[in-house]
Amino acid sequence: MHSSFDTPGTAAAHFTGFAATGERPLTATLTEVTLDGGRVVVVKRGDGDRAARAEAAGLRWLADSGTVRVPRVHGHDARWLVTDRVVTGPPGAEAAERFGQDLAALHASGAPAFGAPPPGGPEDAYIGRATLRNTTGPDWPAWYAAHRVLPYVRRAVDAGTLRPAEAAVFEQVCDRLPELAGPAEPPARLHGDLWNGNVLWGADGHVRLIDPAAHGGHRETDLAMLQLFGCPHLDRVLDGYRQRAPLADGWTGRVGLHQLFPLLVHTVLFGRGYAEQALTTARAALRGLGV
């Protein structure tokens, strides 16, 4: 799919059917476009059709669950993704609790398999600027090791960010995942990149989620990522979640295990500081087994 639109405004006009009357850059890749009649949309410039297609498919898959709120997707092509703008306000405790309840419902809406991409989404997708391969697997421990831990360990070793001897720590964790993973869970419908920057607190008192790396996975992974970089009213989010769907015994002890994936992605993208954090987390998991 090729793009025939030179500006965010022309892309917004095409996908919404309304003329663009103004543009306001937000970041290097995001532009707010005002349409005839006053409606405002956000236009994101992507790095190719795969990225835009994956993000659009992920947003639609989350929306189709009828649970969490996401900005409406107006359309995309190889260069642009056009969505509604979210008017933001201060984070609130009641909104946090509702968000937790909605997130539990999203996870319960399920996925065909661990690693399943959203309908219409590519197998080769992205998490942030890192590539993410959505290949399915029959059980979570084997799939998580093969497709969410070891690929990023290999990339970090190849880049010199991790030493080969350090890679062995992650390989040990992967070997012990059946013992570490807790009770078996069905595949959940995940946002997949649920750090606080992708949680928008709407001025209307409802949370919207943006920039998913959606796939079928373990529900504790979304919760672990939400905790990794901090989130306003996190206790209320977790309270709301557990009202709707109690978590399996021992889940707090598995947070670090699920954080290995985003920490290794950050190691690949941003370097040694995150490698140290990932190693500390992996070693703590092994100590829990007495290794």
- In three-state secondary structure terms, 21 is strand
Dmax (CA) of the chain: 64
In the predicted model, residues of the chain with pLDDT beneath 70 are: 1-4, 48, 290-291
CATH of the domain at 256: 3.90.1200.10
What is the reported pLDDT for 290?
A: 65
What is the reported pLDDT for 291?
A: 63
What is the reported pLDDT for 24?
A: 96
CATH of the domain at 51: 3.30.200.20
CA atoms within 13 A on the CB side of 75: 13
What is the reported pLDDT for 78?
A: 87
Whether residue 193 lies in the annotated active site: yes
Of 84, 106, 132, which one is at a domain's C-terminal end? 84
267 class by beta-carbon count within 10 Å (0-12 exposed, 13-18 middle, 19+ buried): buried
pTM of the predicted protein model? 0.94
Q: Which domain holds residue 80?
A: 8-84
Chain mean pLDDT for the chain? 95
What is the reported pLDDT for 2?
A: 54
What is the reported pLDDT for 50?
A: 85
Q: Which of 102, 193, 211, 222 is catalytic?
A: 193
Q: Which residues of 200-233 are buried (b: 16+ CB within 10 A; e: fewer)?
A: bbeeeebbbbbbbbbbbbbbbbbbbbbbbeebeb
What is the reported pLDDT for 288?
A: 78
Q: Which residues 6+ apart lie within 8 Å of 129 measured at CB?
A: 269
Q: Clarify whether residues 135 and 252 are in a common domain.
A: yes
Q: Clarify whether residues 97 and 230 are in a common domain.
A: yes
What is the reported pLDDT for 128?
A: 87
3 domain-assigned: no
What is the reported pLDDT for 3?
A: 59
78 domain-assigned: yes
What is the reported pLDDT for 262?
A: 97
Query: Of 6, 70, 7, whose CA–CA distance to 208 is shortest?
Result: 70
Q: Clarify whether residues 165 and 212 are in a common domain.
A: yes
What is the reported pLDDT for 4?
A: 67
- For the chain, the domain total comes to 2
Q: What is the pLDDT of residues 187-246, one digit of tens each?
A: 999 999 999 999 999 999 999 999 999 999 999 999 999 999 999 999 999 999 999 999
